[in-house]
Structure 1
Amino acid sequence: MFAPTLLATLDAVCETGSFDLAAARVGVTPSAVSQRMKALAEAAGGALFVRLGPAEPTALGRRLLRHAREMAALDAALAADLGQEGAPPALAIAINADSLETWAVPALAAVEGLRFDVVIDDQDHSADLLRRGEVSAAVTAQTRPLPGCDAYPLGALRYLAACSPGFRDRWFPDGPDAAALARAPTLRFNPKDALQTRWIRQVTGEAINPPAHSLPATSPLQAALRAGLAWGVNPEGLMRPDLEAGHLVELIPGATLETPLTWQVSRVMADVLAPLTRAMRRAARDGM
């Protein structure tokens, strides 16, 4: 339906961020790049970019970009089977920050012949990226296979709720009961992060939304807990060294939160991503 030259040019624009750099990559003039993007937009029936400088694709543009990269990956796989060499394609995959911080990176490093465009998104929402066609695979909390996808259980990532000793003494002098948890500030990755409210519901049976700071980075979030900014929920593997050193204390010792994770892969890309699927399952088994 879409000419390969148009898709390759879209990939170049998104990869380089500009029509000028894309033109140099694909070997045409910037005017030709503009004409190709106009033709692709007309064929697809919508705008491809939110803005230019750097180029930021629309939802339609991201869907076409995924298609372009999947086609390039399939071509590269065929070329490899035929003994031909070429530049590895980039494939968009979604992984939550805690998995990247604790176990997933070795899986990426174990795979040769592919480049990864990693989208960081909450495990409760990454399935939406697959549904919209913006990524080819995702680590997600969705256990049932999405339409057109294969699902592989990875195990459960274990979380602990903790804070600094000083924060505990200030906010939880009588323990973390429902009233105290409703007042004490917590720390979340971003507004999508529901781990704190899930933990509260698990230990109190109540739906409480405490005041929250947002800090979209796992390691700085851990540092903020040590500094006493708030209480928070982080993977046990990240919490344990600070707990053993006395920098943090558990709010309720032994009250862990288990988050099952699943690796979902588009069936169109299942063969190309098979080495990554094996590596992700192995890394999850060893790292979680």
Structure 2
Amino acid sequence: MPDWDLGQLRALAAAADLGTFDAAARALHVTPSAVSQRIKALEQTAGAVLLHRDRPVRPTAAGEPLVRLARQLDALTADATRHLTGDTDVPRVTLAVNGDSLTTWVLPALAPLAGRVALHLVREDQDRSAELLRDGSVMGAVTSQAVAVQGCTVEPLGVMRYRPMASPAFAARWFGDAWRVDGVRPAALAAAPVVVFDADDRLQDRWLRRRRVDPARPPRHLVPASADFAAAVRLGFGWGMLPAQQSDDDERAGRLVRLTDDAVDVPLLWQQWALRTDALDAVATALRTAAAAGLER
């Protein structure tokens, strides 16, 4: 097993984070030549090229696990230092969270930790957050991926239930005054505008296919922010799939109506580095508690 040098690992992570050897050198208070020499030495130990020397530089497939190792060692070192010296520096935890979870239940869950942990939140689709865990950009993620990323643990949180919602005026205009009785007809769905989060949002497509409607037919509005997406549906831009946590109040107040009772369920899981620090433990506990109270099982 190689004897990894912490200084070399830090040089690798700094270059990967900041994009150039010059920026890494400034952050580490050394010369660019020293950064280059440390990374070359680490590559000799690893027996592989660890960085693509582009602008910006970026880790190779062989370099990603070592960048992650560098960040994990920094987190563990900082945690140990706080215990041994009483250091009052606030620990940092980086998380990837999908937009809907961030808007509805994750921020309230983490609010009590705001004075004890510096939270760096990356909004990322639940289907793609594993990439950020894999390259070490984040320490934990609310994700839909059940297979643990190498070096991580995974546990289920619950299910986010999405339902097709629209404003009452939109539903009457596109589906007819009697749509509540007659149901939403496929021909009408093929013409009615739909709101989607971004080009990778497949929730509306999944529901349309259940109704035997080609998802390519309806016109689309792209609204790439969770709160703005819900606002667009309320304002009648189109119909869209909204989580119960985001639509229940509007439905009770009559600002939104449910097109049908069938929903699309998205399982959410918590993946985190397979290590223990006080800050990461506190974040994981807060998310588990909130998910148990607010998500479907």
Which category of TM-score, normalised to the shorter sequence, fits these structures? Answer: 0.7 to 0.9
1:103-118 alignment runs, 5 A limit: 103-111=105-113, 114-118=117-121
Report how far residue 217 of structure 1 moved: 0.8
Cα 1:56–1:186 shift into 2, 3 Å: farther
TM-score for the superposition, normalised by structure 1:
0.78
Cα 1:118–1:60 shift into 2, 3 Å: farther
Which consecutive residues of structure 1, in runs of 5 or more, have no partner in the other structure? none
Q: Of residues 65, 72, 75 in structure 2, which corresponds to 1:73?
A: 75
Q: Is the 8 A contact 2:78 2:91 kept in 1?
A: yes
Q: Of residues 249, 252, 258 in structure 2, which corresponds to 1:244?
A: 252
Q: Is the 8 A contact 2:51 2:58 kept in 1?
A: no
SS, match of residue 201 in structure 2: coil
**Length, aligned pairs only:** 283
- C-alpha distance after superposition, 1:226-279 (max 9, x if no partner): 232221112222223333343332222x33333221112232458763222111
Which residue is 2:221 aligned to?
213
CA RMSD for the aligned pairs?
A: 3.4
Cα 1:226–1:62 shift into 2, 3 Å: farther
1:1-288 alignment runs, 5 A limit: 2-13=4-15, 22-30=24-32, 32-33=34-35, 36=38, 44-48=48-52, 51-52=55-56, 63-85=65-87, 87=89, 90-111=92-113, 114-130=117-133, 134-143=137-146, 145=148, 148-173=151-176, 174=179, 175-202=183-210, 204=211, 206=212, 208-210=214-216, 211=218, 212-252=220-260, 254-268=261-275, 273-288=280-295
TM-score for the superposition, normalised by structure 2:
0.76
Cα 1:57–1:145 shift into 2, 3 Å: closer
Q: Is the 8 A contact 1:167 1:230 kept in 2?
A: yes
Report how far residue 73 of structure 1 moved: 0.7
CA distance in 2, matches of 1:16, 1:86: 26
Structure number with bigger Rg: 2
Report how far residue 172 of structure 1 moved: 1.9
CA distance in 1, matches of 2:17, 2:278: 24
Cα 1:66–1:190 shift into 2, 3 Å: farther
